[in-house]
A and B are shown apart, each in its own frame.
Chain A
């Protein structure tokens, strides 16, 4: 897992709850990496999962909501840091379709060791976009937050239906309409 996910997750907790909670969950989880992360580093995926689970426990939230909120938070980070990927003339669907076709390809060039989820898209009819999430990380909820924030960003009111194709959540279908 890329270090930026850890650093932005800690940033979000610090902004909302203060650094003490960050310290608490690190002390509690005691990750192998020692809890110090840099955005350009790469760390074990299980550490973020343990940190999120710990955070949800301390705030009394379920993990799914935490991931959705973190997704929304990450959209803003991406928008601010990588605005070149956002074309003002594009619609939300244009952007969503460009993730798998363009953005992830560029990311992979920069971080050859990054393990990125796949987002296959199709438009079965006008105004409907079906996105299929495929990843062994099983973090479709994070994607949900990102999609939801995208629609808000492009100021488009659409509903998101999320359904598991694989029981474990490694393949999830989003129907946006």
Chain B
């Protein structure tokens, strides 16, 4: 028993020892485990500490960077506590607000907000906090230390804290300029809106489908609709008459192509009435530049339209009345002119017959009265035509010197009647040939010269031309017509160019005239784009000056139709066709041509003129315009068109009723070379024919005629200024000496000739003819010289006097006839020298 107990005890002990060792082993394991765990924990702790330190350093670095960023930021950055007191401000805050950091920290933000905005701003931020909003943006003005208002755009970030001490960070930017620009934009929008409203312009916007998207107030007022009634509608359906729809459709299509347009259209108002509107339509773009419709600006032009219609009616009436007046004047003028032409023509013819002194006076009176009457009718008709705009400038090539010389020649007898000396001078810088309206220029000069002659007695009248400027395709010419007459008082100088105005009422009584001449001159000058004025001193004379632009012609290209009679040297050898149906006129022309020993044929109508032109070659054709069967234009065209006609290119001169009537244009169209207005004086016809035959100037047109000192003196008829110039080179005194010598010897010369002829002394006569041939050239009569030379040559060839008896008698007669003429020449030269 004891043994068993011992065994149990022994086993128990073994078990306990084993359990203890097991427990120790476990404890050892646990302790080791614990040690390793501790060791690991320690390492972990170390790492953690390192990481924390590193993180702390990084944080400090980043904070530093952030700080410097904040410090250098271009925006205001500040912190505030939840109540709104500044806890931090960056330098920009100081700069913008003008306060130092110390002055700002602790202050409340509302102290800086502009007074009237404080409530609004406070309200905004209270609301932000109440709604737990984390970020917000608001704009408001603050006042800086200097008192300047600065608009800030402020972004606020709120970090909400459990304890209620929320942290506030704000970034604010100076947006003053932006606000300013925005305000400017608003006020400009306001301005334009105001302008548009005040301008009574109805604006309407439509979309791309043509439906109304917006109707402005004034448009609604204009049409009687409300905006609600119009939006979504098609304007074509609402406002248009059916016949106007195509116009609108076209405009709509243009808008879609991006084109603008202005057009007038009738619109139906809500009450059914129609108004006229002018619509200015333009495409309408959105901000991205995409077309989204069009906008139309409507202006009510109903009143203007009404006025326009009334004006149109009034204009039509006025036009009708004016036409009637014109027709009447044309009719009257024609009715008066026709008999007047006969009176003038017959008086001229009568004057050339043998009359006693009393009869001469009567004829002159008739001529004078007829001239006055004719002038009056012409002037009235001319001014009417000019003012009706029915006159046009027809430029043709003309030799200025020749024209002026001709004019002076024509007026010379009138000048002499009152003891006036009429001369002209043309400066060297004036082109020889110009393009101008020959008739207008003649008429202007004629008017001015006519006046000068009228108001001057025993004085000097001068025409002077000079070039005063050059332009691209021409030159400016200045014309001066001066006299030594009664002059015009300074205060009336401008009025003389007005219609029916003469200087004084007495002027009319004393000198006559219609008072239209200067008005016409001015109109004609202005038609040429020039101007005219007068310089005058009462009692000393007047100078009328006008200038205008003319085209320069390099050399005489002349017309297409170079007169075939250009080589003809005198009227005597000319052969002319006269086409004239009026018996009086015809008789007049015939008488004159007979006087000048011109050969001619007569045609009493256009058809006959054409027929005669086919048979014979003429040097010139004078063509009346109004003839039965075939009128002058038609006849001229028929001749020009027929290549078989020997006169296809001959000079055809029109005889017309008025220089300013349509006839002038018609004459040009019919390819006529020139025209002469009826009635004409014998001198005018003579000049007209010889000019177109180019008798006196045909040989020297390209030479410097204007340098001729003798031509400027106004030589008596028949003298050749060129011949004198060639001989004396401008030395008038030398010429006068020679002429005096000629006068002394001339009687002896013709007696010598008569004696030689009587003695039939061939040798002596040849010497005599030879000597006189050169004598005549020296006194400016080269055509007589030519006759002598021709005879001399023939005599030398024949070596006998047989058959030359009559011819030499004729030459002796020429010598005798030359004496008074040369005497006149001498007197002219003497006067010129004395005047110098």
Please measure, in the bound complex, the distance between the C-alpha atom of A39 and the C-alpha atom of B30, giving whole angstroms: 14
Segment touching B, from A30-38, A78-86, A151-159, A169-177: A30-38
CB of A36 within 8 A of CB of B8, answer no
Q: Provide the residues of chain B in CB contact with A41, threshold 8 Å.
A: 19, 22-23, 26
Please measure, in the bound complex, the distance between the C-alpha atom of A23 and the C-alpha atom of B23, giving whole angstroms: 20
Q: Provide the residues of chain A in CB contact with B492, threshold 8 Å.
A: none
Q: Provide the residues of chain B in CB contact with A34, threshold 8 Å.
A: 15, 18
B322 on the A face (CB < 8 A) = no
Please measure, in the bound complex, the distance between the C-alpha atom of A35 and the C-alpha atom of B23, giving whole angstroms: 14
Please measure, in the bound complex, the distance between the C-alpha atom of A173 and the C-alpha atom of B131, giving whole angstroms: 53
Residue in A20, A35, A39, A40 whose beta carbon sits within 8 Å of that of B15 in the complex: A35
B831 on the A face (CB < 8 A) = no
Q: How far, in Å, is A9 (CB) from chain B's closest CB? A: 14
B16 on the A face (CB < 8 A) = yes
User: Do A36 and B26 form a contact, CB below 8 Å, given A19-B8, A20-B8, A23-B8?
Assistant: no
Q: How far, in Å, is B641 (CB) from chain A's closest CB? A: 136
B498 on the A face (CB < 8 A) = no
CB of A40 within 8 A of CB of B26, answer yes
Q: Provide the residues of chain A in CB contact with B55, threshold 8 Å.
A: none
Q: Provide the residues of chain A in CB contact with B393, threshold 8 Å.
A: none
CB of A23 within 8 A of CB of B22, answer no
B193 on the A face (CB < 8 A) = no
CB of B27 within 8 A of CB of A23, answer no
Which residues of chain B from 1 to 59 have a CB within 8 Å of any chain A CB?
8, 11-12, 14-20, 22-23, 26-27, 30
Please measure, in the bound complex, the distance between the C-alpha atom of A26 and the C-alpha atom of B18, giving whole angstroms: 14
Which chain B residue lies CB-closest to A22?
A: B12
Q: How far, in Å, is A5 (CB) from chain B's closest CB? A: 14
CB of B16 within 8 A of CB of A36, answer yes
Please measure, in the bound complex, the distance between the C-alpha atom of A56 and the C-alpha atom of B638, giving whole angstroms: 167
Which residues of chain A from 9 to 63 have a CB within 8 Å of any chain B CB?
19-20, 23, 26-27, 34-41
CB of A23 within 8 A of CB of B26, answer no
CB of A36 within 8 A of CB of B18, answer yes
CB of A38 within 8 A of CB of B20, answer yes
Which chain B residue lies CB-closest to A20?
A: B8
Residue in B8, B12, B26, B30 whose beta carbon sits within 8 Å of that of A38 in the complex: B26
Please measure, in the bound complex, the distance between the C-alpha atom of A35 and the C-alpha atom of B11, giving whole angstroms: 10
Please measure, in the bound complex, the distance between the C-alpha atom of A38 and the C-alpha atom of B18, giving whole angstroms: 9
Q: Provide the residues of chain B in CB contact with A19, threshold 8 Å.
A: 8, 12
Classify chain A's interface size. Answer: 10 to 19
Q: Provide the residues of chain B in CB contact with A37, threshold 8 Å.
A: 19, 22
Q: How far, in Å, is A69 (CB) from chain B's closest CB? A: 23
Please measure, in the bound complex, the distance between the C-alpha atom of A115 and the C-alpha atom of B642, giving whole angstroms: 145
Which residues of chain B from 254 to 311 have a CB within 8 Å of any chain A CB?
none
Please measure, in the bound complex, the distance between the C-alpha atom of A169 and the C-alpha atom of B15, giving whole angstroms: 33
Which chain A residue lies CB-closest to B11?
A: A23
Which residues of chain A from 103 to 162 have a CB within 8 Å of any chain B CB?
none
Please measure, in the bound complex, the distance between the C-alpha atom of A43 and the C-alpha atom of B30, giving whole angstroms: 17
Which chain B residue lies CB-closest to A23?
A: B8
Which chain A residue lies CB-closest to B17?
A: A36
Q: Provide the residues of chain B in CB contact with A26, threshold 8 Å.
A: 11, 15
Please measure, in the bound complex, the distance between the C-alpha atom of A33 and the C-alpha atom of B12, giving whole angstroms: 14
CB of B19 within 8 A of CB of A38, answer yes
Which chain A residue lies CB-closest to B22?
A: A38
Most buried by A among B14, B19, B26: B19
CB of A36 within 8 A of CB of B27, answer no
Q: Provide the residues of chain A in CB contact with B18, threshold 8 Å.
A: 34, 36
CB of A23 within 8 A of CB of B20, answer no
Q: How far, in Å, is B23 (CB) from chain A's closest CB? A: 4
Please measure, in the bound complex, the distance between the C-alpha atom of A53 and the C-alpha atom of B425, giving whole angstroms: 169
Most buried by B among A26, A27, A37, A38: A38
Please measure, in the bound complex, the distance between the C-alpha atom of A19 and the C-alpha atom of B17, giving whole angstroms: 16
Q: How far, in Å, is A86 (CB) from chain B's closest CB? A: 27
Please measure, in the bound complex, the distance between the C-alpha atom of A156 and the C-alpha atom of B15, giving whole angstroms: 41
Q: Provide the residues of chain A in CB contact with B14, threshold 8 Å.
A: 36
CB of A23 within 8 A of CB of B12, answer yes
Please measure, in the bound complex, the distance between the C-alpha atom of A36 and the C-alpha atom of B16, giving whole angstroms: 7
Please measure, in the bound complex, the distance between the C-alpha atom of A38 and the C-alpha atom of B22, giving whole angstroms: 7
Which chain A residue lies CB-closest to B15?
A: A36
Please measure, in the bound complex, the distance between the C-alpha atom of A26 and the C-alpha atom of B23, giving whole angstroms: 19
Q: Provide the residues of chain A in CB contact with B15, threshold 8 Å.
A: 26, 34-36
Q: How far, in Å, is B380 (CB) from chain A's closest CB? A: 137
Q: Provide the residues of chain A in CB contact with B27, threshold 8 Å.
A: 40
Please measure, in the bound complex, the distance between the C-alpha atom of A27 and the C-alpha atom of B18, giving whole angstroms: 16
Most buried by B among A20, A27, A36, A39: A36
Q: How far, in Å, is A44 (CB) from chain B's closest CB? A: 14
Which chain B residue lies CB-closest to A38?
A: B23
Please measure, in the bound complex, the distance between the C-alpha atom of A26 and the C-alpha atom of B27, giving whole angstroms: 25
Q: How far, in Å, is B18 (CB) from chain A's closest CB? A: 4
Q: How far, in Å, is A83 (CB) from chain B's closest CB? A: 23
Q: Provide the residues of chain B in CB contact with A23, threshold 8 Å.
A: 8, 11-12
Q: How far, in Å, is B40 (CB) from chain A's closest CB? A: 16
Which chain B residue lies CB-closest to A6?
A: B19
Please measure, in the bound complex, the distance between the C-alpha atom of A41 and the C-alpha atom of B22, giving whole angstroms: 8
Please measure, in the bound complex, the distance between the C-alpha atom of A23 and the C-alpha atom of B16, giving whole angstroms: 12
Please measure, in the bound complex, the distance between the C-alpha atom of A125 and the C-alpha atom of B27, giving whole angstroms: 47
Please measure, in the bound complex, the distance between the C-alpha atom of A29 and the C-alpha atom of B793, giving whole angstroms: 193
Q: How far, in Å, is B686 (CB) from chain A's closest CB? A: 153
Please measure, in the bound complex, the distance between the C-alpha atom of A7 and the C-alpha atom of B23, giving whole angstroms: 12
Q: How far, in Å, is A42 (CB) from chain B's closest CB? A: 9
Please measure, in the bound complex, the distance between the C-alpha atom of A41 and the C-alpha atom of B18, giving whole angstroms: 12
Please measure, in the bound complex, the distance between the C-alpha atom of A37 and the C-alpha atom of B26, giving whole angstroms: 12
Please measure, in the bound complex, the distance between the C-alpha atom of A134 and the C-alpha atom of B17, giving whole angstroms: 36
Q: Provide the residues of chain B in CB contact with A36, threshold 8 Å.
A: 14-19, 22
Q: Provide the residues of chain B in CB contact with A39, threshold 8 Å.
A: 23
Q: Provide the residues of chain A in CB contact with B17, threshold 8 Å.
A: 36
Which residues of chain B from 757 to 799 have a CB within 8 Å of any chain A CB?
none
Q: Provide the residues of chain A in CB contact with B8, threshold 8 Å.
A: 19-20, 23
Please measure, in the bound complex, the distance between the C-alpha atom of A53 and the C-alpha atom of B766, giving whole angstroms: 200
Please measure, in the bound complex, the distance between the C-alpha atom of A19 and the C-alpha atom of B14, giving whole angstroms: 14
Which chain B residue lies CB-closest to A42?
A: B26
Please measure, in the bound complex, the distance between the C-alpha atom of A35 and the C-alpha atom of B15, giving whole angstroms: 7
Please measure, in the bound complex, the distance between the C-alpha atom of A118 and the C-alpha atom of B786, giving whole angstroms: 166
Please measure, in the bound complex, the distance between the C-alpha atom of A35 and the C-alpha atom of B18, giving whole angstroms: 9
Q: How far, in Å, is B799 (CB) from chain A's closest CB? A: 177
Q: Provide the residues of chain A in CB contact with B19, threshold 8 Å.
A: 7, 36-38, 41
Q: Provide the residues of chain B in CB contact with A38, threshold 8 Å.
A: 19-20, 22-23, 26
Please measure, in the bound complex, the distance between the C-alpha atom of A126 and the C-alpha atom of B428, giving whole angstroms: 144
Q: How far, in Å, is B287 (CB) from chain A's closest CB? A: 67
Q: Provide the residues of chain A in CB contact with B30, threshold 8 Å.
A: 40
Please measure, in the bound complex, the distance between the C-alpha atom of A23 and the C-alpha atom of B20, giving whole angstroms: 18
Please measure, in the bound complex, the distance between the C-alpha atom of A22 and the C-alpha atom of B29, giving whole angstroms: 29
Q: How far, in Å, is B172 (CB) from chain A's closest CB? A: 55
Q: Provide the residues of chain B in CB contact with A35, threshold 8 Å.
A: 15
Q: How far, in Å, is B797 (CB) from chain A's closest CB? A: 170
Please measure, in the bound complex, the distance between the C-alpha atom of A40 and the C-alpha atom of B18, giving whole angstroms: 13
Please measure, in the bound complex, the distance between the C-alpha atom of A35 and the C-alpha atom of B13, giving whole angstroms: 12
Please measure, in the bound complex, the distance between the C-alpha atom of A133 and the C-alpha atom of B246, giving whole angstroms: 98
Q: Provide the residues of chain B in CB contact with A40, threshold 8 Å.
A: 23, 26-27, 30
Give me 5 other A-B pairs in contact (C-beta within 8 A), A27-B11, A39-B23, A41-B26 excluded: A36-B14, A36-B15, A36-B16, A40-B23, A41-B19
Residues of A within 8 A of B (CB): 7, 19-20, 23, 26-27, 34-41
Residues of B within 8 A of A (CB): 8, 11-12, 14-20, 22-23, 26-27, 30
Can you list 12 contacts pairing A with B, beta carbon distance less than 8 Å? A19-B8, A23-B8, A36-B17, A37-B19, A37-B22, A38-B19, A38-B20, A38-B22, A38-B23, A38-B26, A40-B23, A40-B26
List 3 A-B pairs, minimum CB-CB distance, nearest first. A36-B18, A38-B23, A36-B15
